[in-house]
Amino acid sequence: MNETGSPIGMTLGERYRILRPIGKGGMAVVYLAEDLREGGRKVAVKILRAELTTDAEFIRRFDTEAKAASSLSHQNIVKVFDVGEQDDLRYIVMEYVEGVTLKQMIQQRGRIPWETAVPLAIQIGLALDHAHRNGIVHRDIKPHNILVTPQMTAKVADFGIARAATANTITVTGGSALGSVHYFSPEQARGTLVGEKSDIYSLGILLYEMLTGRVPFDGDSAVTIAIKHIQDAPAPPTSIDSSIPNGLEAIVLKCIQKNPERRYDDVRALVDELDALMVEPDGVYGVLEDDGLEDSTTVMDPMRHGSDYGRLRDIEASMASRRRGRRRDAALVALLVLLLLGGMAYGAYQGYLWVLSVLNPENTGDFLVEDYVGRAIDDVKAVLENGQIDYLVKYVQSDTVEAGVVTAQSRPEGTRLKPGGASVIELTVSAGKDTIKIPDYTGQAVNLVQLELEKTFGLTVTIVRQVSPDVEKDKVIKTEPGAGQDVAKGGSVKIYVSSGLSRVQVPDIVGMKRLDALDELTRVNLVLGSDTVSSADLPADQQYVIRVSPAVGTTVSAGSAVDILFGSQQDYFLSLTPTPTPSPSPTPEPTATPTVEAPPDPTATPTTVAPPP
């Protein structure tokens, strides 16, 4: 590494020269590099963060990604070329994909038209189908892990927590989840068996976000969101955007069914329905299997007319109603029996665990809650994280208890919790006598805010810079803890500061078709402003860019809007033809009267000029 500890300039494996960073995540940093053996071909090199090189779990995940991705070869999966280790650096060499992440596209465009979103979902589905057929479940499908090229090709990346289809679960430990809580399935939230249908659920959530511009489940904490995945029903996509076809909504809702058995049998079945929807958007799709609670409706020929039709319909409705009633009664009886048996089984199981814990406490496999009151919160956190138990911490002011000491707990001593399960213990911790309520610093100059927090309040400040389209450079975006929240005196605060916007040039999109032009704007981090079309009935696939504002080549801030005038191809060619300018008529110069010398008259008497005297 160089003097700053950065690998930039290094050559890994005597082959890959590191040029510059192009992305980073919680586990690794991705660098642009050139392959010296392949004529300087650009590649992406993912390097495990230095602080994680001694963490066995992250090393295992890193190696899993390399093994999983390198075993797959598909046009919609980022290729892995090489894996290596040098000077305590673990690295993966991958295909370099020019473009943006799907998350960036959603943030820039908001809702993505279904005509664009569905082809992207089909490509992601094909990648997952290839992985599943090779026995690999991705387990972390989210828009951050999908790269989209300027040609609208989707490529799936980051198999960091992928696992064989027969392996066990994703777990939630220490307040964080393996997998992204906004996109993982109910079975991942519960910590139960994860399979191919978990990827189908995540793809459904991703498609929902593309169509509506937002995720279906959100909340203040990871635990809150996970519970919503398990319990809540999402808002129908058409309630957010009525232009979404009903069949596409049905497909999305089938993908994100809570019960995996009610989702598509496999990704290929989902892809086939999305393909069919692109051909016939008004078709019927996403049909859920009959649950046995209601018989299927008899379909009668709508062309058949007659006096018996109404009576037959009434008889059929009456019979269906009676059948539903009988099934409902039988289902209630069965449910009561199951609840009774389940209660008995649970009681027996708890009794068994109690006896087992008395005889040999080490063999239960459960986590036994201790009395944490009076202990330092850092020590308690370490115990819970080691036991894979989720926890929440709430700070309260106290005049009698030293700061950082636990004063109460939501689970009493002796409670048994399943490691990696959905159980959470809430800890109340003393913030000491002096707590400070963080003011709202949004939009204020960072140097003044830092001075106040450090000098006036005695807090430790960490500055985090972010690109922001809304907040002026060197002004505060937000703080952690946020405005209005309490922090113990002597505690720490993060200040998120705007680094402004990067500068880009307006690309030369004049003459491009509409979709190609919009893709190019997205590629350079610009957005569409005013959208003017020369003819209201001109189809989108026949629209060409006639004029842009600001002009091509103008340097603007990333995220700026570009106004575009669209017209037909004929309009475009006419715009290229300069309008002839009539030449002004020249002002005639005055014409001199010609002097004509007359011939001599032969009859005239010659004039004699006398010589001078």
Query: Which residues, 6+ apart, have CB-to-CB distance to 310 below 8 Å?
Result: none
- Residue 508: name the closest of 455, 550, 477, 557 by CA: 550
Query: Which residues, 6+ apart, have CB-to-CB distance to 230 below 8 Å?
Result: 186, 189, 190, 258, 422
> Which structure tokens are listed for 529?
């402003």
Contact (Cβ atoms closer than 8 angstroms) between residue 183 and residue 170: no
CB atoms within 10 A of CB 152: 16
- Residue 76: name the closest of 135, 144, 138, 123 by CA: 123
Strand partners, 376: 405
Q: How many residues does the chain have?
A: 613
Contact (Cβ atoms closer than 8 angstroms) between residue 41 and residue 93: no
- Residue 155: name the closest of 72, 225, 85, 212 by CA: 72
- The DSSP code sequence of 181-243 is TTT--HHHHHT----HHHHHHHHHHHHHHHHHSS-S---SSHHHHHHHHHHPPPPPGGGT-TT
Strands (E), 432-536: 435-437, 460-466, 476-480, 486-488, 492-498, 503-505, 527-533
Note if 390 is an active site residue: no
Contact (Cβ atoms closer than 8 angstroms) between residue 410 and residue 459: no
Contact (Cβ atoms closer than 8 angstroms) between residue 580 and residue 542: no
Strands (E), 369-521: 390-396, 406-409, 416-417, 424-430, 435-437, 460-466, 476-480, 486-488, 492-498, 503-505
Q: Rounded to the nearest 10 degrees, what angle do helices 514-523 and 102-109 cross at?
A: 110
Separation CA 216–CA 482 (nearest Å):
25
* Catalytic annotation, pick one of 140, 158, 199, 266: 140
Separation CA 194–CA 168 (nearest Å):
6
Separation CA 386–CA 111 (nearest Å):
42
C-alpha distances in Å from residue 407, one per residue of 1, 106, 263, 411: 47, 44, 45, 13
- The DSSP code sequence of 70-135 is HT---TTB--EEEEEEETTEEEEEEE---SEEHHHHHHHHSSPPHHHHHHHHHHHHHHHHHHHHTT
Coil, strand or helix at 368: strand
Separation CA 27–CA 382 (nearest Å):
21
Contact (Cβ atoms closer than 8 angstroms) between residue 182 and residue 189: no
The continuous run of DSSP H or E covering 574 comes out as helix 569-576
Residue 237 corresponds to which amino acid? Answer: P
Active site positions, annotated = 140
